[in-house]
Structure 1
C-alpha cells in the first residue's frame, strides 16, 4: 500500500500555490514514464452541499493538491451531489467545490436520485450547474445523450492503456442502456468504467433502485442482465446511494471479470466525515490498490474493507486504436 496521501490545507498560502501555474519541475516530473496512476471516487456529497460545504471544498482541494504526486487521472462523482434538487444554495456550494477541479483534474458525475425530482426526472438545476457546456471544451469529454448531461462519457489514458468512464443516470431507463451499449461498442479497445448512482448493496447488486422511488428505470441487477454482462470491455462498475461499502466480482458473457464496488459514507458523523476513495492502478503488478482517506480527519481507514488490493490484468499487448 502506498501511504503518500497528505491532508489538504485550507490556508490562503496553500490556495495560492494550488491555483498557480505548473512549475517547470512539475512539467519535467510529468514527462517521466508512468508506473502507476489513480482514479478518485467522490461519493454522495449531499450532506456537505446542504450543511458542511467546507468539507466538500476540503475534498476537492485535497484532490487538486495530490494530482501530481498521486498521478490522479480522473475523479468520478458517484451522485447525490446535493440533498434537495430544487434548493439552489446547495448547488452553489457544490459548484464552488467542484470549481477547484475545473481545468486541473478531469472529473465526471453520475447524478443521483437527490439530484433530480425523481418521478418526473426533472434535473433542471443539475443541468444548470453541470450541463454539457461545462465540459464540452475539455479534450477528455466524449459526449452526452440527448441535450442534457445526466448520461455522458469521458476518456483518459495512462501507462499506455486507454480508459472510458461511462456515467449513467439514476435507475437508467431502457433507452439509456441502449445508448450506453452503443457507446461502449464504439470504443471496443477502451477499458470501460461504468459509474451509476444506484447499483450495488454491500453484498449484492441492488434490485430496487427504480421501484423504491416509483420511477421508470432499471435496478442494478437489471443493468447487469441487460447491459453490463454483454459488454466485454466493461471491467469496473462503481456506485454509491446505499450506506456502506462492498465489492464483488462477476463474470461477463465473454468470460471476463467485472469488479462491482459500492462506496458511500453519507450516514457517518459530519455528513460523511469527508471520506473518499483512491484506486491506484499499478499495471506492472496487475494490481489496483484501494485506499480510503478523509481530508477532514486527516487519516486513513485501515479496515480491511476500506484498504485492500485487487488483482486486475493490465500487462497486455499494446491497445489498438479505436
Structure 2
C-alpha cells in the first residue's frame, strides 16, 4: 500500500501564505493546501481552479462536487496528479504506478466517472505525474454534452544534462495558455525558461475549449422568444393609435 502524505508541500507553501492571496477561495482542510480552489477572471469570464491531490480520495471528490455545484457560473479548470497517461488514455488500475494509498484513492477513470463527467462547467483537466517530453492532450464529452479538454503536462524526465548541453540546469519547461477575447480559442505553447525558447512545433498549437458563457445567449434568446410569442396574442382592434 502507498502512503499519501505531503508534509513538505505544506511546509514550503504555507497555508497562511496561500490563503492570503487575493485569488484564494478555500481548501478541503483548513491549514493544509493539498486540495484548494481559487478564482480569476479573463475577458469577463469567471474561472475557478480546483487543485486536487494525487489520486483524490472519495471524500475529496465529494468536496469537489460541492464546490463545483456552488460555482456553476464559473468555468472550472481542474488540476491533479496521475490522471492521464502519455498515450492519452485515463489512468486505470492496470497501468497505475502504485498500489492504492492508505486512506483511499481513485484513479483517472474513476475520477472521470465520479466527478469530472457530471458537470458542464468543467472545461479543462490538467494533470501531471506521468513524465513525458511533449504535451499530451485529448478530449472527452461529459454527460451534459460539454467537451472537456484534458492535458498531460509533466517534464520530470526532461531535467537531465542531455536536454541542456550538460549544464545540469534542466530545461525549466512551462506550459503557456493564452486566452483570446470573446473566443473559445486557446493558444498553447511549451516553453523553456532556461533556454528561452519554445520546444517542438507539435507543442505549439491553437486549440478550442468551452470557455465562453454560451448559456447567456440561450437565456436572452429564450426571453426574446417568450416576448415575441406574447405579442402574437395581442388583438390589434383592442388598441388605439396612441397605445
TM-score range, shorter chain: 0.7 to 0.9
Deviations 1:221-256 (A, max 9, x none): 110000000111101000111122311110000100
Question: Which of 27, 51, 54 is the equivalent residue of 1:170?
Answer: 54
Residue 238 (structure 1) aligns with: 126
Equivalent runs, 1:222-237 vs 2, <5 Å: 222-237=110-125
Report the secondary structure of 2:37's partner residue.
strand
Q: Please give the alpha-carbon distance, in whole angstroms, between the structure 1 residues aligned to 2:189 and 2:170.
A: 16
Report the secondary structure of 2:2's partner residue.
coil
- Name which of structure 1's ranges 272-281 and 203-212 shifts more when overlaid on structure 2: 203-212
Rate the CA distance shift 1:294–1:257 in 2: closer, same or farther, 3 A: same
Q: CA RMSD in A?
A: 2.1
- Name which of structure 1's ranges 123-132 and 162-171 shifts more when overlaid on structure 2: 123-132
Deviations 1:74-100 (A, max 9, x none): xxxxxxxxxxxxxxxxxxxxxxxxxxx
Q: Please give the alpha-carbon distance, in whole angstroms, between the structure 2 residues aligned to 1:183 and 1:151.
A: 12
Question: Does structure 1 conserve the Cα–Cα contact (< 8 Å) formed by 2:82 and 2:128?
Answer: yes
Q: Please give the alpha-carbon distance, in whole angstroms, between the structure 1 residues aligned to 2:11 and 2:96.
A: 24
TM-score (norm 1): 0.58
Deviations 1:42-70 (A, max 9, x none): xxxxxxxxxxxxxxxxxxxxxxxxxxxxx
Rate the CA distance shift 1:124–1:230 in 2: closer, same or farther, 3 A: same
1:312 correspondence with 2:209: yes
Question: Post-superposition shift, 1:160?
Answer: 0.5
Residue 171 (structure 2) aligns with: 273
Higher relative contact order (CA closer than 8 Å, sequence separation 6+) = 1
1:287 correspondence with 2:185: yes
Number of residues of Structure 1 aligned to a counterpart in Structure 2:
201
Question: Post-superposition shift, 1:213?
Answer: 3.8
Rate the CA distance shift 1:302–1:285 in 2: closer, same or farther, 3 A: farther
Question: Does structure 1 conserve the Cα–Cα contact (< 8 Å) formed by 2:175 and 2:191?
Answer: yes
Residue 144 (structure 1) aligns with: 27
Residue 249 (structure 1) aligns with: 139
Question: Does structure 1 conserve the Cα–Cα contact (< 8 Å) formed by 2:131 and 2:156?
Answer: yes
Runs (5+) with no aligned partner, structure 1: 1-117
Runs of 4+ in 1 over 4 A off after TM superposition: none
Q: Please give the alpha-carbon distance, in whole angstroms, between the structure 2 residues aligned to 1:178 and 1:185.
A: 11
Q: Please give the alpha-carbon distance, in whole angstroms, between the structure 1 residues aligned to 2:65 and 2:96.
A: 20
Question: Post-superposition shift, 1:311?
Answer: 1.6
Question: Post-superposition shift, 1:196?
Answer: 0.2
Runs (5+) with no aligned partner, structure 2: 162-168, 220-243
Residue 195 (structure 1) aligns with: 79
Question: Post-superposition shift, 1:121?
Answer: 2.3
